[in-house]
Amino acid sequence: MDPVSRVREIMSLLSRGFRHGSVSAAEAELREMENAFALVLTGALTGMPAPPAHIGIALLPYLERELTVMMSRSLRHDDRLSEWAGMVDL
């Protein structure tokens, strides 16, 4: 294999690696931004100041996926300690 094709192969591998790393970082950043967005809109549930109601309602359609994930997690969640605490009225 000649040196030029070897350099091209190395550069191609480096480029592919950098693209994969940058895409992974962008996806992680997007997940964090979605979490922050959901927290801002549902902040009243956690005691944080919430945006005005008309803004929250206007942005609510963008939270559809987050709400479905939250509901599926809450339905699958099984907490034995809270069940026992509910039985004895703690």
Tokens read off for 43: 């902040």
pLDDT band at 69 (very low <50, low <70, confident <90, very high): confident
Residue 27: half-sphere exposure toward Cβ, Cα within 13 Å:
6
pTM: 0.46
pLDDT score at 77: 66
pLDDT score at 89: 64
Distance (Å, whole) CA 7 – CA 20: 20
What is the rounded average pLDDT for all residues in the chain? 77
Three-state DSSP class for residue 49: coil
